[in-house]
Amino acid sequence: MKILGIDPGTTTVWYAIIEKNWHDFVLLDYWVIQTLPKIPLEQKLLEIGQDISGLIQKYSPERIGVEKLFFNTNITTGIAVSHARGVIIYECMKAGIIPHEYTPLQIKKAITSSWAAKKTQLQKAIQMIFRLSEIPRPDDAADAIGIAYMAGLERERI
């Protein structure tokens, strides 16, 4: 089973594609979708939607995980990212895949056994799980891989 993990943003959207064979997970690819920082939000959303659609067509994932939005101190950024999440979820649904959604805390807890894990701990845990020669960089890449892994751990929806 191929699984796509997505860490949403407006200027950068990190994604990872993994394959699950029974209890074995293999990292196939991870990278970033980038939009130009100074273009209007509407243009960013269009590009993100097109790129997510392209990833779904290219990899044909059977499952998709998307990070849930959490608000920190910058509500303006959070609102823009929520727009990007909406576009991403729309593209998943358009492809017939209901996305699994996870908070950053759920991902940290499931992968490192700690709600308070640092980004480096998550990166090292991902390195161990996928038997990588080095930790995935930057930390947003590890987030996308972790999201895909979490979606791979989920039971099938009825």
Q: Is 51 a catalytic residue?
A: no
pLDDT band at residue 69, thresholds of 50, 70 and 90?
confident
Joined together, the tokens standing for residue 102 give 């996870």
7 is catalytic: yes
Give, in degrees to the nearest 5, the angle at Cα 64 between 127 and 62.
105
Find the range with the poorest average confidence among 5-9, 33-37, 153-157: 153-157
Peptide bond into 104 cis (omega under 30): no
- The answer to whether residue 62 scores a pLDDT higher than 60 is yes
Query: At 154, is the pLDDT very low, low, confident or very high (cuts 50, 70, 90)?
Result: confident
From the candidates 7, 47, 91, 143, give the one annotated as an active-site residue: 7
Distance of CA 89 to the CA centre of its chain: 12
Active-site hit among 47, 51, 91, 140: 140
CB 149 within 8 A of CB 17: no
Rounded Cα distance between 85 and 55, Å, is: 15
Exactly one of 51, 67, 91, 143 is catalytic; name it: 67
The model's confidence at residue 158, banded by pLDDT at 50, 70 and 90, is very low
pLDDT, one tens digit per residue, over 88-103 is 999 999 999 999 999 9
| Mean predicted lDDT score pLDDT of the chain | 92
